[in-house]
Amino acid sequence: MKHMTHLQRLEAESIFIIREAAASAENPVMLYSIGKDSAVMLHLAMKAFKPGKPPFPLLHVDTTWKFREMIEFRDRRAKELGLDLIVHTNQEGVRAGINPFASGSRVHTDVMKTEALKQALDKYKFDMAFGGARRDEEKSRAKERVFSLRTPEHRWDAKNQRPEPWRLFNTRKKKGESFRVFPLSNWTEQDVWHYIAIENIPVVPLYFAAPRPIIRRDGALIMKDDDRMELKPGESVETMMVRFRTLGCYPLTGAVESSAASLDDIIGEMRSSRVSERQGRVIDQDSGASMEEKKQEGYF
Amino acid sequence: MTSPITARRLPDEADLAQGSIPAALEDETFAGPAPDSATDGEVIDPQGAMKPLVSPAASLLRFITCGSVDDGKSTLIGRLLFETNSVFDDQMEALKRDTKKFGTTGEDLDFALLVDGLSAEREQGITIDVAYRYFSTGNRAFIIADTPGHEQYTRNMATGASQAELAIILVDARKGILSQTRRHSFITSLVGIKSVIVAINKMDLVDYSEARFEEIKRGYQAILPTLGFTDVTFVPVSAKAGDNIVAPSPNTPWYRGETLLERLETVEPETFDAGAEPFRLPVQWVNRPNLDFRGFSGSIVGGKVARGDAIVALPSGGRSRVKGVFGPDGEVASAEAGEAVTITLTDEIDVSRGDVITAANAPTGVSRSFSGDLLWMANRPLIKGGRMIVKIGSAQTPATLSSLDGAIDIHSYETRPADALTMNEIGRVKLTAERPVVALPYGENRDLGAFILIDPVSNETVALGVVRTVGEPEAVAPEGHAENRSGLARLADLWLGEAARGGAEHRAEHRQAKIRARIAGSVLVGFLALIFQMPLLLVPVLALLDFLLRPFLAVAFGADRLPEERKLDPTVVDEGGGI
Ligand SMILES: Nc1nc2c(ncn2[C@@H]2O[C@H](COP(=O)(O)OP(=O)(O)OP(=O)(O)O)[C@@H](O)[C@H]2O)c(=O)[nH]1
Ligand SMILES: [Mg+2]
């Protein structure tokens, strides 16, 4: 048998999953969060259906608090690839004035991300949503299936997951139920960066170090991306060489000090890094099992 | 600052054969500055001497840990992650906090908590569901499935095992071989794993006794003959204390073999070589972006395919040749087992999702019935006559359990008669499907020999199994390709129209019906000619001409083909169902 490298095997596995999901869904959608994992997932989807296009639109759940560079990148990529892009924002949340500063990270995430995602899935009646989550991100994700069944209320039942032997995915569901599919389940952060480098996949420039306006808050380095972020007493804006390991809402995403300005640098830095990528995310640290709880409620 | 990345490619076979991997060479540049650690002197580094990873790993090993409850599987994996430097500082901090809260180890870190991620698991101190963990060393990446030892969760263990190339079977040195050790060993063997490491754990609790190690080793060797493992190593370890996990332990001077990690890094697991088989491609998706392209997408599960190869599509039996092979990066001359491809054919034959395209000279079995061994995973018992949906490859079809030939006794590994299988029991069964199934014995093909059963009402996955024999074959199209049929035969095909397509059995029937209908039609023409008082000599000539020529009129007007059949069966997912 031909020797396939680690990345070639992961690539083939992901393409298999993407095709299996698209073939068994009535109305699939790809959640596009604009981050590096989404970039890889989208790249794999393009490969899976060549010479055609992926038979599904992209969905971005916009909390209105994403980095501006992310939004620019999102619109440019969708146009370049000629894909449909649906952007959904929880307007009720906007009207209620939910924001990460006044409402806190927990409420903001619940309303503007989890609720918004459910709204969008219900509105368009999507029954299969691709997500770029990886099992190596977090310990409850390590238990997640590739095809994760959700109730009509979008809940995840950790104790009642279907076994997935070999690659025989059981994609049958009842009316109202839906699946979250994770084609990158078996990829690690390292794999993602190696693949981005090898395949020349465009990513948001925020992943590369550059001088940026930073406020130190609660031990995290938060980038002041617009005027909605106000200084608290004693705070100041410093220009620091930083980059981001994950991307989300700017007030909730901690930067790391870094001089890694190329993919080579990023990979070198990641190898010697002693903290996990999720460390910069304010929302994961609310409580011990917080990711598991959020997932049960319908978070990705 | 290092140079920007230029286009790289994954190393291919030729590179590896020459021992020069261009990607690896270029990746030297990956060893760029490391600002995080360069400035930070307080880095916890249990493996300071560990070589940093300089390139994407060249190979991948998937393995599981299994064995009886509390034998130390999760602790072992946690330890392995820790010792290979795969645990980040913030995760270590969390582990320290968790050990205080849930720990079973007193003062020491409870490494199992790195792996047991669900709150129910942490509270109960057991593993419930498989955890997938990842680490890499030097040139190899590892995907670990840490499986639960508890009998109730056997299905999760079997799931992990089905994807693995190697199993670490743990044995508690104090307890020795338990029935769950035997059950897991049996399932490991059932899913075809050949390479096994028997890790005799908790050596710290038996004073690192060589005698105890040898005793358990002999005990396990006694059950080996029934299991068919071809590569078995025994390693004395302590997951908790770290003996013989990464470095040889001073506590076991009598042990001269490899440490656990050394074994994992060097083992070439004996896996089934799908590349040696004839070509097999289960079709997942029909790719039809425009009228000029009709490709069949899927992952090759056996052999090799190249432009020009003769193929047969099963179960229909349609024959054609490969026009083009497309890999993830575009058109290629050929592709092999393991690769995700799209192929196009020279003829318009009927192929849809669930069908299998195979080498023309080596079609697989196509039958409505097959026998196999399965693990029953549902709460209610499995009995004869039970109706389920069977999924093999990308095909699903309703099926009935036509016979239950016995259950495996986990103590003797013998088959005993059984009327029903209860949860976590393994049985020998025969299944009869509503439609022909394309399958092969598991020993011949991993993908076309594995199946799951799905409850048609609840949609639960209720069993996983392997095919042993494929029953009475359904007739498949006779030998001979579309291309090398004689002109006369092609004319006959045209004349027969729809009756020349489809399975042989179906075709023979259809052909006879067609001929009878044509004869009746000609008789009618002759009869009409008689009524209208045509010359007597002309009547049979007219009838004969009508018999022969009329079908070609149908061809000329395109009325000879049935419109493509819509599948109404809810178990069949149509290609393009996603669009
Ligand atoms: N003394 C000693 N204790 C150990 C060793 N390995 C594991 N243990 C302890 O044995 C207990 C069970 O360990 P786990 O790793 O949770 O066992 P497991 O096999 O994963 O259990 P399940 O997944 O529930 O089947 C824990 O209290 C561990 O600390 C060892 O080598 N020596
Ligand atoms: Mg465990």
**ipTM of the complex model:** 0.89
pLDDT for A232-256, tens place per residue? 999 999 999 999 988 999 999 999 9
Return the higher-pLDDT residue of A299 and B361. Answer: B361
Ligand 1 atom having least distance to the Cα of B77: 15
Q: Which listed ligand is nearest to B205 at the C-alpha?
A: 1
Name the residue with tokens 């980038």: A223
Q: CB within 5 A of ion ligand 2: which residues?
A: B 73-74, 127
d(CA A216, CA A220): 6
Residue B119 pLDDT exceeds 90:
no
CB B73 within 8 Å of CB B66:
yes
* Long-range CB pairs of B13-20, under 8 A, 24+ apart, other chains included: B13/A2, B13/A3, B16/A3, B16/B58
Domain with CATH 2.40.30.10 in chain B: 274-359, 365-470
Q: How confident is the model at residue B24 (pLDDT cuts 50, 70, 90)?
A: very low
pLDDT for the residue B479: 42
Q: Does A211 score more than 70 pLDDT?
A: yes
pLDDT digits (tens, 9 = 90+) for B436-489: 999 999 999 999 999 999 999 999 999 999 999 998 765 544 443 444 445 565
What mean pLDDT is predicted for residues B423-434?
95
Q: Which residue of B has its CA nearest to A197?
A: B5
Q: Is pLDDT at B504 greater than 90 in this prediction?
A: no
Lowest average pLDDT, out of A38-52, A136-150, B7-21, B201-215, goes to B7-21
Instruction: Say what the pLDDT of residue A141 is.
Output: 82
The CA radius of gyration of chain B, in Å to the nearest whole number, is 31
Which residues on adjacent β-strands are paired with residue A129?
A: A29, A180
pLDDT tens digits for range B527-541: 777 787 777 777 777
Q: Are strands B231-236 and B318-327 parallel, antiparallel or unpaired?
A: unpaired
Cβ-based neighbour number of residue B572 at 10 Å:
17
What's the pLDDT score for residue A201? 97
CATH number for B365-470: choose from 1.10.10.410, 3.30.530.20, 2.40.30.10, 3.10.129.10: 2.40.30.10
pLDDT of residue B123: 82
CA dist list (Å): B456 to A20, A256, B398, B435, B453: 20, 51, 8, 16, 9
Residue B125 has pLDDT above 90, yes or no: no
- pLDDT of the residue at B46: 31
* Residue A102 pLDDT: 86
Residues of chain A numbered 148-207 and touching chain B (CB < 8 Å): 158-159, 161-168, 170-174, 185-186, 188, 190-191, 194-195, 197-198, 200
Q: What is the pLDDT of residue B489?
A: 57
DSSP B238: B
Residue A288 has pLDDT above 50, yes or no: no
Architecture (CATH level 2) of domain B60-266: 3-Layer(aba) Sandwich (3.40)
Long-range contacts of B132-135 (CB under 8 A, 24+ apart): B132/A135, B132/A142, B132/A143, B132/A185, B132/A186, B133/A135, B133/A136, B133/A142, B133/B77, B133/B81, B134/A135, B134/A136, B134/A186, B134/A188, B134/B86, B135/B80, B135/B81, B135/B84, B135/B86
- The Cα A273–Cα A286 span in angstroms is 23
Cβ distance of B37 and A268 shorter than 8 Å: no
- For ligand 1, atom 9, the nearest C-alpha belongs to B72
Say which of B131, B326, B447 has its CB closest to residue A142: B131
Would the pLDDT of B496 be above 70? no
Q: What is the C-alpha separation between B162 and B106, in angstroms, rounded?
A: 35
Q: What is the pLDDT of residue A60?
A: 97
B21: nearest Cα among B8, B31, B5, B35:
B8
Average pLDDT, chain A: 89
Mean pLDDT of chain B: 80
State mean pLDDT over B34-61.
41
Contacts for A147 with CB less than 8 Å, ≥ 6 apart: A21, A162, A164, A169, A170, A171, A179, A180, A181
Ligand 1 center to B239 CA (angstroms): 8
Query: Hey, are the CB atoms on A272 and B11 less than 8 Å from each other?
Result: no
Interface residue A7 vs chain B (CB under 8 A) = yes
Q: Separation of B172 CA from ligand 2 center, angstroms?
A: 13
* CA A117/CA A180 separation, integer angstroms: 12
- Residue A228 half-sphere exposure, CB side, CA atoms within 13 Å? 15
A184: nearest Cα among A48, A295, A42, A41: A41
Q: What's the A248 CA to ligand 2 centre distance in angstroms?
A: 33
Q: What is the reported pLDDT for B181?
A: 95
In which band, very low, low, confident or very high, does the pLDDT at B1 lie, cut at 50, 70 and 90? very low
B157 pocket-lining for ligand 1 (C-beta < 6 Å): no
Q: Which residue has the tokens 């590739």?
A: A146
For A30-80, write each residue's pLDDT tens digit: 999 999 999 999 999 999 999 999 999 999 999 999 999 999 999 999 999
Contact B2 A49 (CB under 8 A): no
Quick check: CB of B74 below 6 Å from ligand 1?
yes
Q: Is the pLDDT of residue B294 over 80?
A: yes
pLDDT of residue B258: 96
Could you tell me the distance, in angstroms and rounded to a whole number, from the CA of residue B70 to the centre of ligand 1? 5
User: Rounded distance, CA B83 to CA B48, Å?
Assistant: 10
Q: How would DSSP label each residue in B486-544? A: -HHHHHHHHHHGGGGSS-HHHHHHHHHHHHHHHHHHHHHHHHHHHHTT--TTHHHHHHH
Write down the pLDDT at residue A101: 87
Residues of A in contact with B297 (CB under 8 A): 19, 48-49
* pLDDT surpassing 90 at residue A159: no
Asked if residue B73 belongs to a known ligand binding site, the reply is: yes
| Per-residue pLDDT, A274 | 66
Cα B271 to ligand 1 centroid, rounded to whole Å? 29
**Ligand 1 atom having least distance to the Cα of B68:** 25
Lowest mean pLDDT among A71-75, A94-98, B122-126, B381-385: B122-126
The span from the CA of B285 to the CA of B351, in Å, is 10
| Mean pLDDT score, B396-422 | 93
Comparing B84-98, B272-286, B496-510, B562-576, the range with the smallest average pLDDT is B562-576
Buried b (16+ CB within 10 A) or exposed e, B385-399: ebebbbbbbbbbbbb
Determine whether the interchain pair A268/B32 forms a contact, defined as Cβ–Cβ distance below 8 Å: yes
* Residue whose tokens read 């991948």: B60
pLDDT tens column, B513-528: 767 777 777 777 777 7
Atom of ligand 1 nearest to the CA of B121: 24
Scanning B151-301, the segments in alpha helix (DSSP H) are 154-162, 179-190, 210-227, 260-266
Q: What is the pLDDT of residue B12?
A: 32
Pocket flag, ligand 1, residue B121 (CB < 6 Å): no
Q: How close, in Å, is residue A53 to chain B by CA atoms? A: 7
Give percent of chain B with pLDDT exceeding 70: 78
Mean pLDDT for B176-185 is: 94
pLDDT of residue B561 exceeding 50: no
The amino acid occupying position B421 is L
Per-residue pLDDT, averaged over B181-205, amounts to: 96
> Chain A, 56-115: which have a CB under 8 Å from a chain B CB?
56
Domain at B274-359, CATH from 3.60.40.10, 1.10.10.10, 3.40.50.800, 2.40.30.10: 2.40.30.10
Short-list A2, A12, A5, A57, CA closest to A183: A12
CA of B177 to the centre of ligand 1 (A): 16
B388 is an annotated ligand-binding site residue: no
Query: Is B223 in a helix, a strand, or coil?
Result: helix
Q: Kindly give the number of the ligand 1 atom that is closest to the alpha carbon of B125.
A: 16
Best probe of the B interface among A11, A15, A161, A292, by most B CBs < 10 A, is A15
Q: Flag whether pLDDT at B26 surpasses 70.
A: no
Q: Is B577 close to A26, i.e. CB distance below 8 A?
A: yes
Q: Say which residue the tokens 């929880």 belong to.
A: A90
The identity of residue B548, as a single letter, is L
CB contact under 8 A, B29 and A274: no
Do A109 and A158 form a contact (C-beta atoms < 8 A)?
no
More confident site: A2 or B321: B321
Q: What is the pLDDT of residue B20?
A: 28
Task: Look at A56-70, A111-125, A272-286, B368-382 and tell me which has the smallest mean pLDDT.
Answer: A272-286
- Whole-number Å distance between alpha carbons of B409 and A196: 50
pLDDT of residue A160: 74
pLDDT of residue B393: 95
CATH match of A6-192+289-297 with 3.40.50.1370: no
Distance CA A264, CA A275 (A): 19
Least confident of A205-214, B306-315, B399-408, B484-493: B484-493
What integer is the mean pLDDT of A275-290? Answer: 53
Quick one: average pLDDT of B376-385? 94
Which of B271, B261, B171 shows the shortest CA–CA distance to B229? B271
Spatial contact of B116 and A292, defined as CB atoms under 8 Å apart: no
Any chain B CB within 8 A of the CB of A269? yes
Please state, for a pLDDT cut of 70, what percent of chain A lies above it: 90
Q: Which of A177-191, A194-208, B87-101 has the lowest mean pLDDT?
A: B87-101
Q: Is the CB of B181 under 6 A from ligand 1?
A: no
Flag whether pLDDT at B268 surpasses 50: yes
pLDDT surpassing 90 at residue A202: yes
Contacts of B576 in chain A (CB under 8 A): 55
| Range A158-166 average pLDDT | 86
pLDDT of residue B554: 62
Could you state, in order of their start, the residue ranges of all structural domains in chain A?
6-192+289-297, 205-284
All residues at 6 or more sequence positions from B51 whose CB lies less than 8 Å from its CB, including other chains: B137, B138
